[in-house]
Structure formats: C-alpha cells, structure tokens
Amino acid sequence: MKEIKKVFCLKYLNMFSVPLQMLAVCVGYFFIEAMSRHSIWNAWEFLQERPLVFFYNAFLIFTTTLIVYLFRRRVFVRTILFIFWMGLGIINGVLLTTRVTPFTGPDLHMITDAVQIADRYLSPFFFWVVMIVAVIAIIGLIILFIKGPKYQGKLSYKVNVPLIIAGVLAFAGTTKLALEKRVLSNYFGNIAFAYEDYGYPYCLATTVFNTGISSPREYSKGVIDEIQKSEENLAETGEKRPNILFLQLESFFDPTLVEYLEVSEDPIPNFRKMMNDYSSGYFKVPSVGAGTANTEFESITGMSMRYFGPGEYPYKSILKETTCESAPYVLKGLGYGTHAIHNNEANFYGRKNVFANLGFDTFTSEEYMATQDDTNPNDWMRDRNLTRYILEAMESTPQPDYVYTISVQGHGDYPEEPVLENPKITVKGSSTQAENYKWEYYCNQIYEMDQFVKELTDELSKLDEDVVLVMYGDHLPTMGLKVTDVKNKYLFQTQYVIWDNMGLEKKDKNLAAYQIAAEVMDRVGIHEGNIFRFHQARRNTKNYQVDLETLQYDILYGEKYTYGGKNPFQRTKTHLGVKEAELHGIDTLGETQYYIKGANFTQSSFMEINGELAEANFVDENTLLLLNTALKEGDVVDVAMRSNSSTHRVLTRTEKYIYHEPIEGSSSAELELIVTEEPETAVTEESQKEKEE
C-alpha cells in the first residue's frame, strides 16, 4: 500500500511539476533577495513595490531550472540548481556586509581566490563552519545521486526539448518587453542601487554577459579614416608644457544644492571662490554614490562609460588585459613625467596593475605614505596629506608633470549617530535625525577637503613654473538623493574648477568627465592623442556620440585601424612610490631588539628575514624598531612594503643583504649587498599576473 501511495504521489507531482517548480522558484528567489538585502522585510517591500521585476527575476531562475526535464534524476539536478542559486545569494549577502559593491560578473573571474581572501568576509569560526557544511553537502549530493528518486515515466525528448526552447524564447521575449517598457534598465549609474531596483539575478546576469563595447553596425577601416579626417582642422601643438594636475575629490559636491538641507555655514568656501574666479561648471559623471574608478577611467582616457556593459568597471575587465591610449601615454610623448597618487591601498580597483596599462611612471598609494595614522572617524586618510606627495611627484622629474590624484576622505558610509565633537558645521532639514547626523558628518569632511584644496593651491602658487589644476567630485555621496532633492534636477553631476597660475581666460561650460582632459589640453595648446583630438574637433557636432563609440570600440576591442592595425602602447614599468624605500643599516639594542635604519619607511614597512615577514614598529621615515626577533649570521634581510589590503602581499622591497653580526664592541651590523639586476620597486609583467582581490 505504501509503495502504491508513493507511486501515486510522484505521478501527481510530475503532472504539475512545471507550476510547482515555478512556485518553489518564487519562494527561493524571495529568500535570495532577503539575503542580499539583509532583511526579509526589505525583500517583502521589494515584492510589493516592484512585483513585475520580482516575477521577472523568478522567471529568469525558473528558465535555468527547465534543464531538469532532460534528466531522470530530477531531484538531484534540482538540488544542484538550488545550491547554485542559494550559494550566489549567500555570497552576495556576505560580500555586502563588508563592501558597497554587490557580487558582479568580474568577481566570478576571481572565484578561485575565494579561499585565500575568505578571512576578509568571514571570521575563522564561520569560515570553518562553511567548510564543514560544504563537505557535508558534497557527501549528501553523492548519496542523493546514488539513492535518490528517479523519474520512472517515459523520458520524451520530443516534448521536453520543445518545452525548454519555448521557455527560453518566452524569457527572451519577456526581457525585450521589460526593457522596452522600462521595467528593467540596461544602464546602471550606480550598481548597488541597480541591484536593489532590478533584482540580484538580472543584474548579476547582465554584468556577466553584457560586457565590453559591441561592434557598431558601420565599422570598417574607412569609417575610422573618416573619423580621423574630421580632426584635421585642429591647430598644431604649441610649445607650452605646463604641469597638468588632476584632483579627483571623493564624493565631493555642493550640499547647498540639496533643496531640503540647511547648513550652518558654507562647507566649501574655497572651492566656491575658485569657481567664481576660474573656469568652472557642472561635471557630468557616469555614476551616483559609488563608482569612483569609472569617473577616473573617463577622465584619464577620454572614453565614455555609456558604451560599456551595465555596471561594468573597465579596471576590472579590459584594462587588466591590455594597454589603452590615455592622457599619461599622450603626454609622455611630449616629455611629461606621469604620476598617480591615491591615499588608499594600492590594490583597490586593481589600480596597482591597471595604472601600468595606462602609462603612469609612478603610483604613490597609501602604503607609500608616512601619514597613514592621520585618519578621520571612518578611518579614511585625510586628504590634507596629499599635498606633500603631489609636490614630491612634481619635484621628482626635471620636465613638466602630469599628476592624477584620487582622494578618499569623503568616502562613506556616513554614521547615523554623532561622532564629531563640536562639529564646525551643523545640519538640519532632513526627514530624520539620523539623516541629519549623516549630512553633518559629510559636510564636515568636505569642509576639511575644501581646506586642503586651499592649502594645495597656495603651495602651487609658490612654484616658479606653470601649473593647471583640475578639481572635481567623482560622484554624489551615498545619501539616497532623488532628482527632486537637488536644485539642478540631475544626479549624475558634480562640479569642477580649472585653477591655474598662467592667467588662462575664464570659460565656464558644463563638461562630461570624458571631455575634461581634452578641454584642458585644448586650453594650453596640446592637440595630441586620437581620443582627445576627437573631442576637441567634434564635440557638439553631428554623429559625435556615434563616432565616439566607434572609435572606442576600435581602440579597445576592434582591429586597431586607428593605429594601423597594432596597439602602439607598451605596458609601463610603473614604480610604486616616488621615493623608494632604502635599507642602510641595522643597530642592535639587545638580543631580540634592533633599530632598522634607512629611508622612506612608512607604517606599511616590514622587515623581511629569509623571505618571512617580521612586523616592525614604525618610528619615523628613517627608522623601524624590530622586537622579539633574533637575527643570525647569514640571514638574508630586506625591508618590504606590504599591501594594506586583506591579502597582505608584498608590493615592493629594497635590495637584499646578508646580515653579519656586529663585531665585538660595536652595535652596528655589517650588511653585505646581494647583487641582483634591480630591487623589486615596480609593477612588472609577472606581478600583473598575480591573483587580485
């Protein structure tokens, strides 16, 4: 009797398996969104407010589950698919506890590094819990495959294959209709917001499959030749070679543009005065609330993000693989030194390797700054420390310099409780006190950034050489602003100013991030580089955007007709830090205590002994204190600069020495240089291939 009931039950379930499978998918997808949003209630609000988006995403998952009808072991295959989708939900939920950016397509390329960097996202206890659960799951799957139920009826491919095809076609049609009716979008200004608005499965799939720039319909050598001919009316590059500085200010914009906000005093008085005195305007950026690297990409290369895949970061995709025409490469051809500076860790957005593909001679990251302890309450380094390193970059070469600086102080997340004692600026007007506290914190941070801007321009004014400094915010802060909240009624916009000590004529205009470098070069008489010449000659002309897309495709993905068929830009051997760390000597204080003497040390400097890192206390830029370590005759020693990221990889190191114990009566050890081709102070081809975070 039990066997008969079992057969009857299975037969009944198989009859209605398709609608039951869809129902199960809807329930499972609800919990995936709950994990991504860290709240069942938020997932329920998403279902209520965007039911069409919810059921579209459920349909996406359901379409992938139709494959079960090709197998007899349907329970086993359904279990695999359940683990796959729930696993993606768990991964996204865990990542969003420690970072703003959700799990995207580029993250899949680094899935093999998951175990190596798992400590960044999981405590040791939960890491081992995950490992144990994974082992149990594998054993369970093996048992399910061997002993689990199998479909007993006739497996009719004539019925099941058309069913799957019909499901895929229906999903494709639904996707097309959803995009046409704007239920979904294929452009993500803020990838985190997009995941909240359009659902995790759709956004993840989009970032996996919709990447790069598609080949334009009219793409040929003739089309590229015509585009290049349209630039021929430009003047020749003149003799002026001013220093060209870019300062990208994190989340910097004018809070007085927020309709409801009341601030006790102007948070950006110096920047505002410069906008009145120098060329300025609104600055169109490709993202809102996040996406610093994409504003950076546009400003450096002159390329627009609108032609790339939704939510794509070229720093994490194409620029990991190839060099790209850029302001550094173009200006190097005119004799410029090229430098990047960022008061955050070197591996963030993969900059350590990407900057070598963009032509930067040096990259000074947080690890190479001896001011890492000067941080704000959110533990971001204060921007005032950048002045020193900008000047050092300019002083490091006798020729003019291009210096691209990325600030970090204004970075979120902004606290919802008061964390500042006696804040300079107070705020009111938000709908909640928690929002007022967030704005108060933000306004005081950008006030300090504004003071830094004044300090920097004061120092640059003292130089006996021509300087042009472009300053702008990379995007609006993460404050949940709506179009109706800002006076200019546009969220993809900050402001810029072009300061100079050359007496350039004030010309106010609104510009996009991808136009700013061409504009600055045009102001000083530089007409070089295919992309920059294109903007100078073609902005506001017919087919400007169409031809820009074609040019970008040719340079990055096409046949390179622009260059005669071959990319002319060789990867730069980018030195990390303008001033290299040096090991000069070791003084013995006791059996396990030593002063390490040298130059250009920072808080990221470690003693390396026979290839093993030993933590050393930072005393000053010339001294480290090594404790609880005994050096022995013949040890191989050097000073290594270690990454501040979770991987803690060695970025560069000094020359290596053989340690010889001090002679009697002396405390100074003798260091015998080990002759190598050169110390490891630059990003090399080999280091490019290292696994990144």
366-401 pLDDT, tens digit each:
999 999 999 999 999 999 999 999 999 999 999 999
What's 186's DSSP letter? S
Q: Is the pLDDT of residue 12 over 90?
A: no
Which range, 3-17, 142-156, 587-601, is most confident? 587-601
Mean pLDDT of 519-531: 96
Give the least confident one: 125-129, 163-167, 405-409, 645-649.
Answer: 125-129
Angle at 243 between CA 237 and CA 245, to 5 degrees: 115
Confidence band of 678 (pLDDT split at 50, 70, 90):
low
Right CATH for 580-688 from 2.60.40, 1.10.357, 2.40.160, 1.25.40: 2.60.40
- Distance in angstroms (rounded) separating the CA atoms of residues 522 and 519: 5
Q: 345-350 long-range contacts, Cβ below 8 Å, gap at least 24?
A: 345/643, 345/644, 345/645, 346/576, 346/643, 346/644, 346/645, 346/651, 347/643, 347/645, 347/647, 347/649, 347/692, 347/693, 348/645, 349/292, 349/293, 349/313, 349/315, 349/316, 350/315, 350/316, 350/320, 350/692
What's 670's DSSP letter? E
- Distance in angstroms (rounded) separating the CA atoms of residues 543 and 171: 34
Angle at 68 between CA 65 and CA 71, to 5 degrees: 165
User: Using N-to-C axis directions, what is the helix angle for 17-37 and 2-15, rounded to 10°?
Assistant: 70
448-482 pLDDT, tens digit each:
999 999 999 999 999 999 999 999 999 999 888 88
Q: Which pTM value belongs to this model?
A: 0.85
Give CA 161 to chain center in angstroms. 42
Give the least confident one: 139-148, 641-650, 675-684.
Answer: 675-684
> What pLDDT sits at residue 120?
46
Mean pLDDT of 607-630: 94
Residues of each domain in the chain carrying CATH 3.40.720.10: 235-563
Confidence band of 689 (pLDDT split at 50, 70, 90):
very low
Give the least confident one: 128-142, 256-270, 350-364, 582-596.
Answer: 128-142
**Sequence-distant (≥ 6) Cβ neighbours of residue 364 within 8 angstroms:** 339, 340, 341, 342, 389, 392, 393, 576, 577, 578
Give the containing element (helix H, strand E) for 392: helix 386-395
CB 631 within 8 A of CB 637: yes
More confident residue, 12 or 237: 237
> What pLDDT sits at residue 136?
81
Mean pLDDT of the chain, nearest integer? 89
Q: Which two tokens stand for residue 211?
A: 């990447």
Confidence band of 70 (pLDDT split at 50, 70, 90):
confident
Confidence band of 48 (pLDDT split at 50, 70, 90):
very high
- Distance in angstroms (rounded) separating the CA atoms of residues 113 and 692: 8
**Sequence-distant (≥ 6) Cβ neighbours of residue 218 within 8 angstroms:** 550
- Distance in angstroms (rounded) separating the CA atoms of residues 523 and 244: 11
Q: Is the pLDDT of residue 504 over 90?
A: yes
Sheet hosting strand 616-620, strand order edge to edge:
582-590, 593-599, 623-626, 616-620
DSSP one-letter string for 340-362: EEESS-TTGGGHHHHHHHTT-SE
CB 29 within 8 A of CB 61: yes
Q: Is the pLDDT of residue 155 over 70?
A: no
More confident residue, 499 or 97: 499
Place of tokens 């950026």: 285
Q: Is the pLDDT of residue 690 over 70?
A: no
Three-class DSSP labels, 444-469? HHHHHHHHHHHHHHHHHHCCCCCEEE
Q: Is the pLDDT of residue 410 over 50?
A: yes
Right CATH for 235-563 from 3.40.50.1240, 3.30.1540.20, 3.30.70.1150, 3.40.720.10: 3.40.720.10
CB 572 within 8 A of CB 360: yes
Burial of 72 from C-beta contacts in 10 A (0-12 / 13-18 / 19+): middle
> What pLDDT sits at residue 289?
81
Residues of each domain in the chain carrying CATH 2.60.40: 580-688
Confidence band of 679 (pLDDT split at 50, 70, 90):
low
* Amino acid residing at 551: L
What's 183's DSSP letter? S
More confident residue, 441 or 135: 441
Three-class DSSP labels, 66-104? HHHHHCCCHHHHHHHHHHHHHHHHHHHHHHCCCCCCCCC
Confidence band of 487 (pLDDT split at 50, 70, 90):
very high
Q: Is the pLDDT of residue 37 over 60?
A: yes
> What pLDDT sits at residue 686?
46
- Helices and strands, counts by H and E, the chain: 22, 21
Q: Is the pLDDT of residue 8 over 70?
A: no
CB 288 within 8 A of CB 189: yes
Question: Is residue 417 helix, strand or coil?
Answer: coil
Question: Is residue 221 helix, strand or coil?
Answer: helix
Q: Is the pLDDT of residue 109 over 70?
A: no
